[in-house]
Structures are given as structure tokens and as C-alpha cells.
Structure 1
């Protein structure tokens, strides 16, 4: 079944020469698929193009019904292919394709041949293009095709004027000018034909008519070429003709193809994964339009990345590359959506005098210009969704890449969005960037690694640090590191006032006041991350409300998600948050709330059987939190905090346990002093350099502890036993480990007993009592498997150094087993500190 389509007039389909009866919506679907020129048009795109913002009920089913009906009429040329449909047509089956092919053949041909081809192309038109189609989605194409016909007329007139047919053309030109009264090239051709036909007065009148209309409607004058033609006719001279290659048809000057990408930054490094992510985000042919968003805090190098990538993919966008600075982070200077569209239209070659008056009309013209083009548009520093929406190309052939300090979450409610979130550069990549500026030799000296670390992976800080070091050729890296320790986020260089702190302050100023206050309150805490419930406690609001505020902070790239319900900062943001927290007028209130939350959390965890994180901060933060509490110089609070934290995890650290011992001593509480010695000694056991201190504290604890302080007694005997075992005193160590086993109840504390059994087994094997040691190891193995429900690899059951290392790893995992009781887990965790190697 041979299918032919007519688009250059009323839309019609013919099969084997017979006209196909089409319902209005079928005609619209057929036109939309034909205009897609063999590419897949998705169902969603068809729905948008057919009904815009007023689709019927069940629009997908309606489209499927229309396609089925249309396929029965036109046959297998209508192909279903995910995510939609396309028309498989031979090259000459559509009058539009034939017209465009004839126009291509005319380009560069001799005047006679060109005129013939252009007349054949014009003969294919039978009225207004896309007649009988009322779908909103064809309007850009209707405008494009109307422009195509006028351009064909102009090229045809130019060729025939070259052939001397001016007298024959006047009548047709008068009609064309009347239909297109603002088309300056047509008027110029009419003036030329009239003048060459000895109708000079009418030629001048044609110019005057155009000038008056331009002045009245647009407030502008005719173009320079037309003014020169008018002057030549007034002087009675032969109008100057453009110099063309011999025999060629004079053609309109090609519209400029924008190439606006700025030069790339020097020493670009460390962003290879992000460049790959941008390339992977390129849409496939026939896909729906897509926005690629590069998001990150100020100073992370978003613009540098987008520009670098744009240069690498320029060949994929042969119709031009546009760069727009939307100034979105500067609220007072931000471009309005209308101004952004105006700048984009000027970039694609629309003269200022021909810009439509209204915003919607300008946005429509921009979409029309890009519909059949492949253009890359980089919209830098977008501040809101509204700035970007009118810049989204209508097809996937073009691409909008935006950079923003915000995640612009609402964009995904309008279009498909692929987000590339920028993070600070990792250590090696940060070093590569700085080395590129100052040289590897300069950075290899003492203090070089610290300089890199203090820059926090922030490209802006790294570049400014590099520029500063390059200017100070004799300054030591250690001295420069001292500067950075306090001023890394405010580092700047002459003639470049940008700083990371200023960018963060700008982002902070744009927040909802409640979100900004939460940021400051969290900054008052000495932690690298917080859980949702801690954040809610510090703010004194509900968890759902806190989550919404944290969402805003995440969107502004001031906070990052570290895991489920866990939030943190990058290093330089954390420094800025601390400054904000220190300036809080009611900082004490936030700190008191945080401390109460920690204490209640420790108590809850100590009583809860199920495994749960140690606290609202990472375990690595606990020593800092304990130090922060100790700085309040409240010995009772310090003792309560450290003792309750240690009951949950030994990760509280030696410094905190030393502060707890000092607090207990100040309080004069004998039981607290004894417990503090046990805690501190058990923590110091893990540090070989402090073995003597550990031995002294544990021995003192055993002398001072009351019998009813059972947990601390077991911790002290076990810690001292493992310490003596390492010191090569097996008899004394064995006595203490056996005492620990006597004090443990395997029925209630099987995992803690496992730790003690393994330590005793290891001691016995090393001391030469292999048989008894293997029995203890077998007991430990059986007890641990029963307690946790998990099995240890039984490839070799004879305890030796290799098996012992594997069993220690197995024990570490067993500490998180859900079947283990809370009290057993906590005691086992504290004992485990003494056997880790």
C-alpha cells in the first residue's frame, strides 16, 4: 500500500492514489507524526500536542484508539515503538520532504536551474500549510512552514531577477509584499524589479510605504541594504549587486549560528566522573525534552564544569551553542523570565526590532526557532524554576543545561530532569588541581598535604590558594596553612572578591527564616552529622516540620543527606555553620536541648534490646561532643554524659574518659571515681603506647570498685587480663580472665562470654596449653553461633593467628546481630575493645 501525504495545504493522505477519509483528530495525529520526520513521538508528547493543557479523560487510551483507527486506514507505515509511534515513509512520499529536497537542489545551482527547482517547490503549495489541523502542537510548525514558503519565494525572485525577468515578476511580487508587508527583502526585490522596469517612482513609493509601516508598528527604520538601494535609485544609479560566484543564485545571508560558550578555566581537573555523568544524560533521538541540572554550593565549579563539557560536545549541536548568565544567586540582578527569553532570541539571530511584544509570544517564537535545530543552551546560575521553563527546547534535538546553587526540585514537576550534583573534590583530585597551578615541586614540601586538606576540596578555594602561593613564591607551606586554618572560607585574591563564605551567606540569606534558624542551631553543635530526631530536638519542633526545613537546606546545598534520616555538611559549610551557630542569641537553649537529647538517647539505648546507632551523631563525633560538654565546666553533667555514653559504646574515647575521671574526682564521689578508672583503663587498653597508664587505672579500679558495680568489675578484670597477656605474663592474665568468666552469666550474656572465652583460648594456645585452649575456642564458637544465629566458617577449627583474625572479624559482625540483647551487646562491645588487634 503506497502512502502519500500532503502537508503544504489541507492535510491529506492518499493510498495507491485514492484519498483517505480522515476524522479531524486522525488528521492531527497524522500531521504530528509526519512533522516528526521518522523519529519516535512519545504518547505523552502526542497528548500534549493534541490537547495542550485540556486533555480528555483517559488521554492515553484515546491516543491508542486514534492510532489504531489511523493504522487501519493508512497501513503499516504507522509503526509502534517505545515510548510512542513514528511514520516510516519513503523520502518522496510527503510533499514537504519533496519541497525541501528541491530547495536543497536549488542551492548553489545556476540561476536557470535554481529558478526551475524553486518554481517546482512552490508549485507543491496549495494554501495555508497544515490546513484542517487545529492541534496546539502544530502551531510552531505552521509558523515554520509559512516562513519556508516566503524564503522560497525570495530565493526564486532573486534567481529570476538575475535572469532579467524583472518585468514578469512585478505582479507576483506586489502580491507577495502585500501578504508580507514587513518583509524587507521582498520589498527590496520589488523595488529592484520596478526600477529595472523603468518604474522609478513606484520603486520609491514601495520604499516609503515600508518605512512608514516600520516606523508606525515597530519604531524602526529599514535595514542598511534597503537604505543603500533607495539611495541608489534616488541618484539614478544601477543598484549595487552583491558579488556572487559565477552562475550562482544570490542567497540570503545565513543566519548567524551562535557560539557563545566562554573559554574554559585553566587547570581543570578532578571532574571526570561528572563530565561522564553529563554525557550520559544526553537524551536519545525521539525522546522527550530533558533538562540537565548541575547543582552545588557556590564555589564548587558548576560553571567551569558545564562550559568544559559544552566544548567537548559542541559537534553534537551544529546549529549553535548559547550561554546565558541568569544571575539567579544575586536576587537584585537576576534576569526575569522575559529578559532570559529575549536574550535567547537575540542569540539565535532574531533582530531586536522583530522581537514580539509579549512574553508568551517571545517564548513561542523561541520554541519555533529551535524546533528543527540542534542547539545547546547553557543557562548559568539559575535562581528559580521560572527562569528556566521558557528556555526548555521543544524537542530532544536541542538541550538545556542549567547550573544552580539550588536543586530546583520543582523542575521535575514540569519536565524530565537529570541532576548532576557536585561535591567537593576528593583528596587526590584536589591535590591535582592545586599542583596544576603551583607545580608539584612547590606542593611537595612540608605542609603541602595540610594546605590541600584545609581547602576542603572546594575548587574556588583551591584556585585562590594556588594563585596566592604563586604570588608568594617564598612563603612556606606551613605558614600558609596557618592562614588557611582560620580563613580558608574567606580566602580571596586581588580583583576577584569571590569567597566561599560569601556564596554560603548568599544561600543562607535566601532561606525561609525557619530553615535559616535551623541551620544556625545545628551549627552550634560540634558534630559532622546529625540524625533527624536530634535536629528536631535542637530546634524544639516536630520531626515532620524539621524534615521539611532540612529539605529546604538540602535544596540550597547547605546540608547533605548522609543516610536514612541523617544529615551533614561538607567541611567548609560546616565551618560557616559554626560561625552562624556561634552568633545565635539563644545558643544556650539549643545546646541544652541537644545535651538533654543525648542523655535521654543514651538511657534509651542502654535499656533497648534492639540494635540502634550509638547516638544522633556518628561514633567519630562522640569524643568531640564529650569535649564540648566538658567545656561547660559542670562536673556532674560531664560525669553523667561520659558514663552514659560509655555504657553504650567505648567510642566516646580516652579524652572523654579522662574528663569524666576529673569530674568524678571534683565531685568526690567514690563510686564514680572507681567506675571512671575502669572506663579509662579499658579504653586505654586499645592503645599500645599507653599500656602502663591502662594498667594503673585498671588496677586502681579493682581496688576501689564495690562488688555491686558488677559491670565495671568485669570490664576492669578483663581489660587488665588482656593487657597482661600482651605483656607476656600468662599466669596472671589467665587468673584475671578466668575471674571474668566466673563473673559472666552465659545464659544472659552469651556474646560477652564469647569474647572472654576467645581471649582466654588465645592466651592458652600462645602459652603452650593448646588442648585446653582449643576447648575454650570451641566453647566460644558454639556460644557465639547460638547467640547470633550465624555460623563461623568451619574450614579450619584449630585456633591459630589466621583463624583468630577471622574469628575477630566474625565477632565484630556478631555485635550487630538482631538476636543479641541490648545489655549483652553493650557489655560485649566494651570487652571487645580489649581483644581487637
Structure 2
């Protein structure tokens, strides 16, 4: 007896033994002939079905050869004959499993279970296993649909005859493979129900309903919904319970905006369960907010409110979802001995019990999404309010949950909290101390409550005393020896429990990072860890993600983080290296003509931030200014003298251009201390020169002269021509401010003479401009004009735009003094544009001031007033009070309004 099979591997059996039918291509030829057994398959059809568009050489001959070999294999059992330009495989259809399958299904017509079971038994796997062509793939897909339909008819008959127990495993596999098929899910739900597994049956129904809604936007059909209601009725036979599990409502201060957002998120209409996750740091007031809202709207959930403290961050271990579900199910009226075992079974029964009911579920203090997901109802009539220190991003991704971050209280809210605790009269009596307390606690609700705890129980203690103790002792005041929940350090420590060792290390190091905030590249240098450690801390609400790629901590959280660090010196040295080398690269971009003084080699593993151009360098220095100053202070405390000095120098151009005179002086004074520990005498020369220039810009002219004279004397002693030239140049400014133009002119000439020996065109141009400027101030305008024009040519030839702007300012001054006021205006405007384009706001202020004089000389008083307002605003921003007062007086003389120009008042 011969068997020809395609419902599995393509094979031929004779007497139960397989015949060798050759390689895959030859089996494919046989499969094509078997599918159309007893019908003609033309040569063109055969070639297309076996080879598609990749025909072999002499394709017809090859096909004929394959047919000939198959004739020999099938000899005596079936025959292949040439007919009508093709081939026919003549065989009894019952010998071919495919045709026998179709005959059995047709004969059964959904009535005869035994015939369908016999048909199902013919399948040994996927049709045409081991053979693959486009045509085969299409036929295989069609046969899979036939098999699926036949199996569905078979299962219906088997269920009708009570075969549910034996079908559960098969139907579970089929439902998992076809999750959107309502017929299959209905068969499984019925089989589970009849097997006594109501919870699993209801769970399967809810899973399908969610999938249909999410993927197709539809609901299950009426037959499946009717089956679900029948099962649900048996589960609810004891009658529904109405649980009221909310704890007592807490006092809540402020939070009006957050309460309104909860209203919008949890009281709206939706096709899915409404979920809001409130996230924030420990002690920030998440539970207070959630319970206050829940009590305010309890009447809108008439079928009950469920509550669970998941203990995600508490002295005790987190509560397992299995235990929470047991409590919820029994609260909903199911006897304890009838609660199913296993997390999935409990979750399914829970979802069934709350289905269609208007209920609120409050899940407080969640450790993570894994703890929450099994507790989410499947019914859109329910609302879920989750609180936790993690952001629970997967709830947002998977369930469309609303994320509500909770931050600190505003000053007004903090004051209101103290009024609640202490009474309005007591707070009103000490308004300054009240504000200081709110500020010292950073608006942190738990910190404020702990801080005034003694004041609540001891009315004689003043708020000024409380604030003073907090100011002196900081985080230590906010601890508690017997009640961990009333200790801010203890509450914060619970957030570390779910972190990895690396993440805890990163948390501690971020607590000692220099500056008010940090970027991801700087954090990587500090911690030596990948970005995902920082992301995990944001997720845990220990670190705040701020705009423009910056990260920060609440001051109290930062103080606590610092207490967890055992030794952070190496980390601080790494981040200092990151800031230093990036700042150095920025400084080179801002002023490429400066003497290049490289910092030491980079620490292994530290990567400075790449800065493509001067604009990005200026933007980075602006954004990181506070951190860079803090880094210099930290480096000084650690004895990193090279870092201290090089940071001062890397910031010098930026400080000058932005008018940060006092920051520059502080920075260089720190560098002067560091220079005493460095071996290179040139470093000390430079430092005295830079300190002198910084003193000069701050109006400390005597001190400036002393430092610059010292720099010049050291430079001469060590034959440092470059430093001698720079020191003479710096002294010109000091003597100008000391109103001795003749002495300034002498230093300018000496600087120029030295610059000309150094083959540095930009410096020579600076020297020419300086000589020209002081010649003009002394009334020698021909000499002034010649030197300044030569300087302008050099600056332009060597692309030194700041030097060009300086020289244009000098030429404008010469034009103004010689009566060519129009040319003065033109030169000043050109200089102003160059200074602005390179971010040199210090000189923008000076040149704007000068341009006003040129306009005034032309009688253009409105233009003079407008540009003087600009100068006045910049002088004020740069704390240049005497210059601002001088310009303000000129504006008064013009009759300008006291409040400034309309544009200034609008800003």
C-alpha cells in the first residue's frame, strides 16, 4: 500500500517504509503533481511553481529529468504520464493525505466528530516541510486556513459531547497562537469554565477584550459576551461586596494644580481603565495627594474603593502582588477558601469581580511596574491611582497611564503648610523666619513637617531658633531615632534599596558633584558609569531631569547623597578633568591667537565634550559657568593646583567678554595661591599679570599696578620676552584708568617693540592699536591714525575679529576727536557688530557708550538715547556701577524717562 504525503514532510511510503525521492527540488516537483493529482500540470505551471523566476539552464529538460526520476521511484504504485503539454500524476486520491483530508472534512460537514478527528490525525506538522517556493508558500497558507477551520468544527463537536477537559491544553496553545480569534477564545473560555476554572476563563475573556480594543478598536461579539455574562453570574452568586478601604484623609496644603490634573485624568471618559501614576521623591507628599483626592471623589465610585500600601519604600519588604490580590478578592466577597492559587488565576478572578463596576483602586508606595500590573483592573469603569518614587514608565507605555510628577511646594504653599501645623498667628509673628524655614527645606513637605515638630509641641520655641538650628546642623535635624517614617534620611534611604551597587555609587557621587546641576557627559566622567545609571536615578525620583539635558537634585536629597560617599576624591578629580579640558578647548575656539598653554594629560576614561565652533564653545561656557567656578573651588580643596590654575586661564576670555569681572578676579586669586605650588616660574609671571588685569577691570588700580609691576619684574628676571610684552600691554590699561595717558603711552610703545620681535602678527596688531589709541588721547592724531590703520590691516589679514573691533573703536575715537562724526558712527557700528557676533558683551557696553557720543555730536539725540540705554543695561548687568551711573546722568540730561525706553520696560 502506497501513501503520498504533503501534510508534513513531502514523502512516499510503501508498506509504511519511506522511499528515497531525492533532493528538495525533486520533492518540490512531486508536491506540485500531488496537489493537482489526477489533473494536468502544464510544463509552464510546473516551471513557475518549482522555480518561479529563477529558471535553471535548459529548464524544460531539467524538469523532464526530475519527472523521469520520480516515475522510477513511483513505478508500480502510481504513474506519471505526459498529457496535453504537461504531466498527470495518476493515483488513488485516498493514497494522498491532502485529498483524503479534504474528503473527510467534506463528508463530516461539522456533524461527525470521528471523521474530523481522523482528518486532524493526517497532519504531521506544517504542510510541505523542507520545501520552499513562492507557490508552495501560498498553498501552505491556504491549507493552514482549511486545517484551522476543520479543527474549529472538531472542537465545537468535542465540546458539545463533553470533551472539555481533554481540550484545554490544545485550545490554550491555539488561543495563544491566534490571540484575536473570538471563536478560539470562546472555545477555550467554555472549556475552562466547564473544567471549574472560572477565574482563568474570565481572564481569557478580558485579555481578548483588551486586545480587540487596542488593536482593532472593537469589542467581542455577542455570543462571546453572553458566555462571559453566564460565567460571571456563577462567580457572583454570593452577591457583590462594596469595599471602603481608604485610610483616613490627610491634611493637604496647596497642590491645586495637581488635584485638577487628577480630576481630568481619572474622571474623564475612556475606552480603557483610567490610570494615573503620581511619582516623586520620598516625603514629597504623594500619599497625601492621592488620599486627599480619593476621599474628595469617593462618591463618584459607588461600587467601592480598594487601597493597598505596597510598601515599595518602607522599613518592611515590599508587598507581593499575590498577597494584595488575596486581600482585594476577599474584600470583594469571595470566601478565602475559594480564592484560586497562583498569581495569574488570582489576577483573572480579580478583574472579573470588578468588571463593569465603578471602582477606584489606590495603589500607594509602589516599588515598580511589576508590582502594579497584576493589580490593574481590565474594566474601563474602574480608575487606578498609583503612587511611587519610580516614574513607572511601562505603565505609560503599556496602559496609557497619565504620569503626574510631584515636585516641592512653592513658597506660598510651604507657608500655608506651616500655618496648618503652627497656626496663622504664630507664622504671622515671624514672617522672615517662616520664609527662611521654607527655603532651608527647599519646599520639601516632610522636611518642613519634621523641622517644626518641636515647635508644634513646644510653643516657647521660636521659628527663628528652629531655622537657626536647621541652618547650622542641616540634615541631622531632620532625623529621628525611633520612628523611621519621621526621619528624612531614613525615608530617603529606602529609595536606595531597589538600586544596583553601581546606581547607589552614582547617587552618592552626584551628591558631591561641583555646581548646582550636571549634564550626562559630566556625570559619566564623575561616576565612570554609563548613562543608564543616571536614567535609573531619574526613574527612582532621586535625580531630576531638567531642561536642556541637565540633571539636578533637591538640596536635601543631595545632602543625604553626600553622606553615602566613602571616598569621592578620585571621582571629583575625574569630573574636574572633564570640565577643565572641555573649557580649555572652548577657550581655544574663542581666542585662537592666545598663547597656547595646555593642561596636563587627561585621566584615563575621561572624554571632554567635543565643541565644533566658537558659538557652541560660548554656549557651553555660559551653561556650565556655575559648575566651572565650583569645580575650581573643589580642585583647590583637593590640592589639584594644576586644575585650579588652568581653569582660571580657560575661563579668562569668557569672563572678559561676558563682563564677569568679579568672577574673573576670584578665579585668578585662587590661581595665584595654586601657582605657589607649581614649579614653572612662567606660570607665576602669568598669574600676577592676569590678577593685575582682573583687579584693573574691578577698579582696584593700586593692587592691579602692584601685580603687573611684579609680573614685569619677574619676566625681565627670567628673560620672558612674551610675558614682558603682555605685562607692558596690561599696564597701559591700568595707567589709562589712573588718568596718566603719557605713562600708558610709554608702556604701549615698549609692548609694541617687544611684540615685533616675536613674529606674532595678532599681538603686533594689538600693540599698534594700543600705541595709536594713546597717541590719539594725547592729541597726536596723525601718529594715531597711521598706527591704527596698520593694526586694522594686520587684524583683517590674520582674521582676528576681536582685534579688528578694538581697532575700529580706536579709529572711531580718532574720527570723533577730529570732527568726522559720520565716520565715527560708521566705525563704532562696525566695531559693535563684531563684538556682538563674538559674544564680547563687556566691549559691547563700552562701544555702545562711545557710539552715543558720536550720535550726540551729530545732534542725533534720539539715536544717542537709544544706544545709551543699551550701554546702561549692560553696565548694570555687569555690575559696573560707576559707568552705569555716568550713562544714566547723560540720559537724564537728554530728558529720557526714568523707567527706561519702552523696549527695556517691556523686557
TM-score range, shorter chain: 0.5 to 0.7
Q: Conserved in 2, the CA contact under 8 Å of 1:695 and 1:723? A: no
Q: Distance in 2 between matches of 1:468 and 1:776?
A: 68
Q: Distance in 2 between matches of 1:280 and 1:762?
A: 65
The Cα of 1:390 is off from its aligned counterpart by 1.8
Q: Could you tell me the TM-score, scaled by structure 2's length? A: 0.56
Match 1:779 to one of 816, 819, 830 = 830
The Cα of 1:85 is off from its aligned counterpart by 5.8
In structure 2, the residue matched to 1:519 is 507
Match 1:607 to one of 560, 579, 588 = 588
The Cα of 1:372 is off from its aligned counterpart by 1.1
Q: Could you tell me the TM-score, scaled by structure 1's length? A: 0.60
Q: Conserved in 1, the CA contact under 8 Å of 2:583 and 2:651? A: yes
In structure 2, the residue matched to 1:471 is 457
In structure 2, the residue matched to 1:293 is 277
Q: Distance in 2 between matches of 1:138 and 1:721?
A: 98
Q: Conserved in 2, the CA contact under 8 Å of 1:326 and 1:380? A: yes
Q: Conserved in 2, the CA contact under 8 Å of 1:746 and 1:753? A: yes
In structure 1, the residue matched to 2:391 is 407
Match 1:598 to one of 579, 583, 608 = 579
Q: CA offsets, 1:336-391, max 9 Å, x none?
A: 11111122223334443543344333222221222111111110011132321122
Match 1:432 to one of 406, 416, 435 = 416
In structure 2, the residue matched to 1:551 is 535
Equivalent positions of 1:630-779 (< 5 A) are 630-633=636-639, 635-649=641-655, 653-665=664-676, 667=678, 671-680=682-691, 683=694, 708-709=722-723, 716=730, 720=734, 739=770, 746-747=795-796, 748-751=799-802, 753-754=804-805, 774-779=825-830
Q: Conserved in 1, the CA contact under 8 Å of 2:266 and 2:275? A: no
In structure 2, the residue matched to 1:803 is 867
Q: Conserved in 2, the CA contact under 8 Å of 1:380 and 1:404? A: yes
The Cα of 1:493 is off from its aligned counterpart by 6.0
Q: Distance in 2 between matches of 1:292 and 1:508?
A: 24
The Cα of 1:532 is off from its aligned counterpart by 2.1
Match 1:460 to one of 431, 443, 446 = 446
What is the CA RMSD across the aligned residues, in angstroms? 5.1
Q: Distance in 2 between matches of 1:458 and 1:605?
A: 38
The Cα of 1:773 is off from its aligned counterpart by 5.8
The Cα of 1:463 is off from its aligned counterpart by 1.0
- Report the secondary structure of 1:400's partner residue: strand
Equivalent positions of 1:242-261 (< 5 A) are 255-261=240-246
- Report the secondary structure of 1:329's partner residue: coil
Equivalent positions of 1:261-410 (< 5 A) are 261-266=246-251, 268-282=252-266, 284-330=268-314, 332-410=316-394
The Cα of 1:322 is off from its aligned counterpart by 2.0
Q: Conserved in 2, the CA contact under 8 Å of 1:374 and 1:397? A: yes
The Cα of 1:506 is off from its aligned counterpart by 1.9
5+ residue gaps, structure 1, are 1-23, 29-48, 60-79, 88-128, 151-182, 184-253, 814-829
In structure 2, the residue matched to 1:497 is 484
Q: Conserved in 1, the CA contact under 8 Å of 2:284 and 2:406? A: yes
Q: Conserved in 2, the CA contact under 8 Å of 1:300 and 1:424? A: yes
Q: Conserved in 2, the CA contact under 8 Å of 1:675 and 1:701? A: yes
Q: Distance in 2 between matches of 1:684 and 1:723?
A: 12
Q: CA offsets, 1:543-568, max 9 Å, x none?
A: xxx11111111111222223454322
Q: Conserved in 2, the CA contact under 8 Å of 1:685 and 1:834? A: no
Q: Conserved in 2, the CA contact under 8 Å of 1:674 and 1:701? A: yes
Q: CA offsets, 1:306-363, max 9 Å, x none?
A: 1122223334322222221111224753221111112222333444354334433322
**1:573 and 2:557 aligned:** yes
Q: Distance in 2 between matches of 1:711 and 1:319?
A: 87
Q: Conserved in 2, the CA contact under 8 Å of 1:490 and 1:501? A: no
Q: Distance in 2 between matches of 1:619 and 1:291?
A: 42
Equivalent positions of 1:149-228 (< 5 A) are none
Q: Conserved in 2, the CA contact under 8 Å of 1:759 and 1:835? A: no
Q: CA offsets, 1:582-618, max 9 Å, x none?
A: x13xx33223322332332223223343413546983
Q: Cα–Cα, structure 1 residues 388 and 762, in superposed 2: closer, same or farther, change >3 Å?
A: farther
Q: Distance in 1 between matches of 2:639 and 2:443?
A: 36
The Cα of 1:536 is off from its aligned counterpart by 2.2
5+ residue gaps, structure 2, are 1-147, 153-171, 183-211, 590-612, 749-765, 774-787, 886-907
Q: Distance in 2 between matches of 1:401 and 1:763?
A: 74
- Report the secondary structure of 1:381's partner residue: strand
Q: Distance in 2 between matches of 1:767 and 1:574?
A: 62
Structure number with larger C-alpha Rg:
2
Q: Cα–Cα, structure 1 residues 778 and 350, in superposed 2: closer, same or farther, change >3 Å?
A: same
Q: Conserved in 1, the CA contact under 8 Å of 2:475 and 2:560? A: no
In structure 2, the residue matched to 1:143 is 231
Q: Conserved in 2, the CA contact under 8 Å of 1:722 and 1:759? A: no
Q: Distance in 1 between matches of 2:732 and 2:295?
A: 65
Q: Conserved in 2, the CA contact under 8 Å of 1:323 and 1:378? A: yes
In structure 2, the residue matched to 1:449 is 435
Match 2:526 to one of 517, 535, 538 = 538
Q: Distance in 2 between matches of 1:804 and 1:322?
A: 68
Match 1:621 to one of 627, 636, 643 = 627
The Cα of 1:783 is off from its aligned counterpart by 3.8
Q: Cα–Cα, structure 1 residues 730 and 710, in superposed 2: closer, same or farther, change >3 Å?
A: closer
- Of Structure 1 and Structure 2, the greater helix share is in 2
Q: Distance in 1 between matches of 2:532 and 2:246?
A: 38
Greater length-normalized contact order (CA 8 Å, ≥ 6 residues apart)? 1
Q: Distance in 2 between matches of 1:320 and 1:401?
A: 14
Q: Conserved in 2, the CA contact under 8 Å of 1:391 and 1:400? A: no
In structure 2, the residue matched to 1:210 is none
- Report the secondary structure of 1:264's partner residue: coil
The Cα of 1:402 is off from its aligned counterpart by 0.7
Q: Distance in 2 between matches of 1:618 and 1:797?
A: 40
Q: CA offsets, 1:785-823, max 9 Å, x none?
A: 7879xx99x99996535424447889999xxxxxxxxxx
Q: Distance in 1 between matches of 2:351 and 2:818?
A: 84
Greater shift, 438-447 or 501-510, is seen at: 438-447
- Report the secondary structure of 1:589's partner residue: helix
Q: Distance in 2 between matches of 1:772 and 1:710?
A: 35
Q: Cα–Cα, structure 1 residues 362 and 56, in superposed 2: closer, same or farther, change >3 Å?
A: closer
Q: Distance in 2 between matches of 1:449 and 1:835?
A: 35
Q: Distance in 2 between matches of 1:285 and 1:655?
A: 60
Q: Conserved in 2, the CA contact under 8 Å of 1:558 and 1:569? A: yes
Q: Conserved in 1, the CA contact under 8 Å of 2:693 and 2:704? A: yes
Q: Conserved in 2, the CA contact under 8 Å of 1:255 and 1:349? A: yes
Count matched residues: 595
Q: Conserved in 2, the CA contact under 8 Å of 1:289 and 1:416? A: no
- Report the secondary structure of 1:407's partner residue: coil
Q: Distance in 1 between matches of 2:829 and 2:347?
A: 78
- Report the secondary structure of 1:291's partner residue: strand
Q: Conserved in 2, the CA contact under 8 Å of 1:534 and 1:616? A: no
The Cα of 1:524 is off from its aligned counterpart by 3.8
In structure 1, the residue matched to 2:37 is none
- Report the secondary structure of 2:276's partner residue: strand
Q: Conserved in 2, the CA contact under 8 Å of 1:296 and 1:422? A: yes
